[in-house]
Amino acid sequence: MKKHGGRGTERFSRDSRADRPPAKPRPNAGAKPAQRPGDRAPVTHGFRRPSAELAALYGFHAVREALRNPRRQCLDLFATAAAAEKLAQDIEARGIAVHLVDSEALTARLGAEAVHQGVLLEARPLPSLDVTEIQTRSGVVLALDQITDPHNVGAILRTAAAFAVDAVIVTERNAPEFSGVLAKAASGGLEHAPVVEIVNLARALDQLGAAGYLRVGLDSEGPASLEDTPLSAPVALVLGAEGRGLRRLTREKCDVLARLDMPGAIKSLNVSNACAVALALTRTKLAK
């Protein structure tokens, strides 16, 4: 026997409704229940939904440099009153509207670990360059072999901007998103260090070699120290991921391998610190 939908059941239900007195209309029928004290409706503050086409930049220096970068397409700025006051000149020069929010709203959007300093800029990702579009100024390029930690890559970009590196080459896969944590760690360097995203690092190193670059792979087992390695511009310093170092094919594409000799008790450095030391040594050697 069917429990629902039979003709007999349909007649019984209809007859039962006919025997009942008409229902009295309820006051405010269809109205939403009143909000009780303590209830809080979710507030979005107009934040956009995260996507691959949206870069969420936070932190004072990261946002300020993005506002000053004509290549960066800025969408919306969310800031506390105090942060907006500090950025007033850059906001006015950029002509961007500001959404005043409290610090808790930014924390809810970005997460408790984000040190946002009261400001969030929603923008479009910067366009990537091609290897053939690298403009030689300092004569130094960095190539990152699958370094995935956003803090390390951000620190490398900050150092690259400080040393006026011509470009930072990264792989499209096995690389962090150029937003959020990375941009904060770069402290504005993301806006000043040209980024080249490539599919195949070995092929990119071939292109650099054909363009006359000396390709120097930094390797703790290198046959000579970077200080004792002859360098000539243009030069590409190739950095490997922490722990794993340079991959085999990457090593084979380098013209020379060099190590960083540390005189102290600690013989190895974080990859971003190693990058800073290598750039300082390279700049000194190229200036001679």
Q: Read off the CATH number of the domain in which 215 is found.
A: 3.40.1280.10
Longest Cα–Cα distance in the chain: 105
- The answer to whether residue 44 sits within a structural domain is no
Q: How many CA atoms lie within 13 A of 18 on its CB side?
A: 6
Average pLDDT over residues 29-33: 38
- The answer to whether residue 46 sits within a structural domain is no
Asked whether the predicted pLDDT for residue 30 surpasses 70, the reply is: no
Q: Which residue has the higher pLDDT, 119 or 37?
A: 119
Q: Same domain for 189 and 265?
A: yes
Q: Same domain for 70 and 154?
A: no
Q: Same domain for 230 and 93?
A: no
- The answer to whether residue 43 sits within a structural domain is no
What pLDDT shows up at residue 187? 95
What pLDDT shows up at residue 46? 80
Q: Same domain for 92 and 165?
A: no
Q: Same domain for 272 and 147?
A: yes
- The answer to whether residue 35 sits within a structural domain is no
Identify the domain boundary among 102, 123, 144. 123
Q: Same domain for 158 and 238?
A: yes
Please name the residues in contact with 21: beta carbons below 8 A apart, sequence gap of 6 or more.
none
Q: Same domain for 247 and 227?
A: yes
pLDDT in tens, 42-65: 345 688 777 778 999 999 999 999
Average pLDDT over residues 228-253: 94
Distance CA 19, CA 280 (A): 94
What pLDDT shows up at residue 45? 66
What pLDDT shows up at residue 231? 96
Please name the residues in contact with 46: beta carbons below 8 A apart, sequence gap of 6 or more.
76, 78, 99
Asked whether the predicted pLDDT for residue 209 surpasses 60, the reply is: yes
Cβ atoms within 10 Å, residue 282:
23
Average pLDDT over residues 96-111: 93
What pLDDT shows up at residue 52? 77
Q: Same domain for 184 and 220?
A: yes
Encode burial over 94-109: b for 16+ CB neighbours within 10 A, e otherwise.
bebebeebeeebbebb
Asked whether the predicted pLDDT for residue 246 surpasses 70, the reply is: yes
Asked whether the predicted pLDDT for residue 98 surpasses 70, the reply is: yes
3-state SS, the chain, equals CCCCCCHHHHHHHHHHHHHCCCCCCCCCCCCCCCCCCCCCCCCCCCCCCCCCCCEEEECHHHHHHHHHCCCCCEEEEEECHHHHHHCHHHHHHHCCCEEECCHHHHHHHHCCCCCCCCEEEEECCCCCECHHHCCCCCCEEEEEECCCCHHHHHHHHHHHHHCCCCEEEEECCCCCCCCHHHHHHHCCHHHCCCEEEECCHHHHHHHHHHCCCEEEEECCCCCEEHHHCCCCCCEEEEEEECCCECCHHHHHHCCEEEECCCCCCCCCCCHHHHHHHHHHHHHHHHHC
What pLDDT shows up at residue 155? 97
pLDDT in tens, 163-186: 999 999 999 988 899 989 999 999
Encode burial over 61-82: b for 16+ CB neighbours within 10 A, e otherwise.
bbbbbbbebeebebebbbbbee
Percent of the chain residues topping a pLDDT of 70 = 84
The tokens describing 56, both together, are: 């969420």
Average pLDDT over residues 210-229: 95
Q: Same domain for 80 and 138?
A: no
Mean pLDDT value across the chain: 85
Q: Same domain for 151 and 105?
A: no
Do strands 119-123 and 167-171 pair parallel, antiparallel, or not at all (unpaired)? unpaired
Identify the domain boundary among 76, 105, 123. 123
25-29, 80-84, 220-224, 226-230: least confident range: 25-29
| Band of residue 16 on the pLDDT scale cut at 50, 70, 90 | very low
pLDDT in tens, 139-168: 999 999 999 999 999 999 999 999 999 999
Identify the domain boundary among 98, 123, 148. 123
Asked whether the predicted pLDDT for residue 5 surpasses 70, the reply is: no
- The answer to whether residue 173 sits within a structural domain is yes
Q: Tell me which residue range forms the domain holding 213.
A: 131-287
- The answer to whether residue 29 sits within a structural domain is no
The tokens describing 129, both together, are: 């360059």
- The answer to whether residue 88 sits within a structural domain is yes
Q: Same domain for 181 and 70?
A: no
Q: Same domain for 209 and 274?
A: yes
Average pLDDT over residues 124-139: 93
Asked whether the predicted pLDDT for residue 41 surpasses 90, the reply is: no
The count of structural domains within the chain is 2
Q: Read off the CATH number of the domain in which 103 is found.
A: 3.30.1330.30
Please return the burial class of 42, using the count of CB atoms within 10 Å of its CB with bins 0-12, 13-18 and 19+: exposed
- The answer to whether residue 37 sits within a structural domain is no
